[in-house]
Amino acid sequence: MVDPASTLDDLRADAKHLHDLLDVICERVFGNVDHNRDQAVDSMLWIARDLAEKVAGEAKGP
């Protein structure tokens, strides 16, 4: 549930934290050679990371 007192700065910080989290997960997952990994999960992880980056960038504003 979103706190009604949340501000745009909170949204920006949350978006940046989400992107940072997904970026670290990608680095750890894709840094390990595991030929048994599920390629669909890999693809979804990349998509989530890229979308989080886009949201964080848009939340910064002009």
**Which bin fits 18, alpha (ψ -120 to 50), beta or left (φ > 0)?**
alpha
Q: What is the mean pLDDT of the chain?
A: 81
Q: pLDDT tens, 10-38?
A: 888 888 898 898 888 888 888 877 777 78
Between CA 45 and CA 47 the distance in angstroms is 5
- Name the residue type at position 13: A
Residues 6+ apart with CB under 8 A from 11: 59
Average pLDDT over residues 41-61: 84
